[in-house]
Amino acid sequence: MIIAVAAISVLVAVQSSEMAEREIQSLEAELIEAKKAELRNYVTQAKNGFYYIYGNAAPDDEEAKKQVMQILAAMIYGDEGFFFVYEYDGTNIVSPRQTEFINNNWIDLTDSQGTKVVDKLIKTARQGAGYVEHLWPKPTTGEEAEMVSYVTGFQSWRWAVGTGVFIDDVLASGAAARAEVEARVQRTFYYIGAITVGAILLVFGSGLFLNIRERRLADAKLKELTQRVFDAQEEERGRVARELHDGISQNIVGVRYALEIAKRRMISGDERAVENLNKGIDNLATAALEVRRISHDLRPGVLDDLGLGPAIKTLAEEFSNRTGIKVSVDTVVFRNRLDQDSKIALFRIAQEALTNIERHSDATSVVIDVRGNRSGALLRVSDNGKGMKVGKTGGAPTTGIGLKNMQERIEQLEGTLKISSSSRGTVIDARVPLSHMLSPTSDSVSTNIESAAE
């Protein structure tokens, strides 16, 4: 933003200065041309005033020359305007405001810029008439200033007659206009700078406000997520504790009682001791199966050994055996095709979906579809239950830590979770992007072909 504003400021300043300079130069040229025209009119009027004398006089008519010199010496105007006459040899014969020039030869007079002024005036007069720009000391101050002279030639008398006007006032006006332009450009810079600083402060303040606001929202979400994690941990610990207490603990207590009874009967020689030992062995086998089931729920080994498809089939079979709900699984083998995070996430989503179906849906059948496509991998779990509440957009759940866990798992993979539900059932679609699909190897391709053949 600062670079853009600086570039705009420089562009505005350059263009403004160039435009103002063109206008000032045009104004100066117009004023100087007006002064030149005025000079020409002065000389023309003066010439008309004594032309009746000059026109009838001979080249050596000294009386006529004297009359014309007197007329020209009397023709002064303004504070510094006057007529001058130089003979072609450089001798001044008329200079009413600077009498020290009279009767002296100034053919070699040079101004501070190196211009031979009188010589140039005489050369212009010899050619007929014209303008000469030069420096000349002002009669009022004696200081050199820019001057424009118009000179005409009296060829029969060999005179250079003319008058001049100082244009330092025009140049001073131009300098003042240039200074005004520079001041305006400088003020424009100040205005642009003030606006830029204000805009930067506004952007900075807005960004700071949004940053603080977003950070607070993120902190609140983080606290909420942390609390949900704690709640999930406590819920999982409670579930494991209940299963240990209701299953393994009771079986182990049964084994203990059977062994104690068998011990007492063996001491007393009772033949029923063998019966109690067999009962203890059965209870111990049941406890081992229960430990295996709990371990499988926490982390199914088949997911690591065989992949996502077989793990979901095993999960569906156990769910169907436990609940009596019919489960149909249609899957393409994903071993060596999905990365580990995706396999775990999709398995947990399927596990959570079946748990919700068991607890809330009153469904009698479930269909699980797992497959890959051009956009990635898809897990779809649908049932024929009574449905559940979802968000207004149909894409996100409104309540339930299980559904939120699904959403967060799929978001970590940059995937999408869509839940649609009605009185005829619920459909959960979890999609994982193609970036989580691994390149197929020859082993995985042969495995997929064999599995598809089976």
Range of the domain at 413: 302-453
For residue 171, tell me if it sits in a domain: no
Which residue type does 127 have? Answer: Q
What confidence score (pLDDT) does residue 441 get?
A: 53
Q: Which of 119, 140, 166 is the last residue of a domain?
A: 166
- Non-local (6+) Cβ contacts of 340 within 8 A are none
What confidence score (pLDDT) does residue 392 get?
A: 45
Inter-residue long-range contacts of 164-172, CB under 8 Å, 24+ positions, other chains counted: 164/39, 164/84, 164/136, 165/35, 165/38, 165/39, 165/81, 166/80, 166/136, 166/138, 167/31, 167/32, 167/35, 170/28, 170/31, 170/32, 170/35, 171/28, 171/146
For residue 40, tell me if it sits in a domain: yes
What confidence score (pLDDT) does residue 121 get?
A: 94
Q: 3-state class of 373 per DSSP?
A: strand
- Write out the H or E segment, with its range, that includes residue 243: helix 168-243
For residue 200, tell me if it sits in a domain: no
For residue 123, give the CATH number of its domain. Answer: 3.30.450.20
For residue 180, tell me if it sits in a domain: no
For residue 112, tell me if it sits in a domain: yes
Overall pTM > 0.85: no
| Interior/surface letters 348-362, b for 16+ CB within 10 angstroms, e for the rest | ebbbbbbebbeeebe
For residue 107, tell me if it sits in a domain: yes
What confidence score (pLDDT) does residue 448 get?
A: 43
Q: Which of 144, 166, 188 is the last residue of a domain?
A: 166
For residue 337, give the CATH number of its domain. Answer: 3.30.565.10
For residue 251, tell me if it sits in a domain: no
- Non-local (6+) Cβ contacts of 151 within 8 A are 43, 121, 124, 125, 129, 130, 131, 132, 160, 161, 162
For residue 312, tell me if it sits in a domain: yes
Q: Using CA atoms of 436, 438, 439, 444 in order, give the dihedral in degrees to the nearest 10.
A: -140
What confidence score (pLDDT) does residue 384 get?
A: 92
Q: Which of 114, 143, 166 is the last residue of a domain?
A: 166
Q: What is the pLDDT along the chain (454 residues), one digit of tens a residue?
A: 788 878 887 888 788 778 877 887 887 788 888 888 888 888 888 888 787 888 888 888 989 999 999 988 888 888 888 999 999 999 999 999 889 999 999 999 999 999 999 999 999 999 999 999 999 998 888 888 888 999 999 999 999 999 988 887 777 777 777 778 778 877 887 888 888 888 888 988 999 999 999 998 888 888 887 777 777 677 777 767 776 766 677 778 777 777 888 888 888 887 787 887 888 788 788 777 777 767 666 666 667 777 788 888 888 888 898 889 999 998 875 555 778 888 888 888 988 899 889 888 889 999 999 887 777 888 999 999 888 765 544 444 445 667 877 888 888 888 899 999 888 899 999 988 877 777 655 444 434 433 433 3
Q: How many domains does the chain have?
A: 2
What confidence score (pLDDT) does residue 16 get?
A: 78
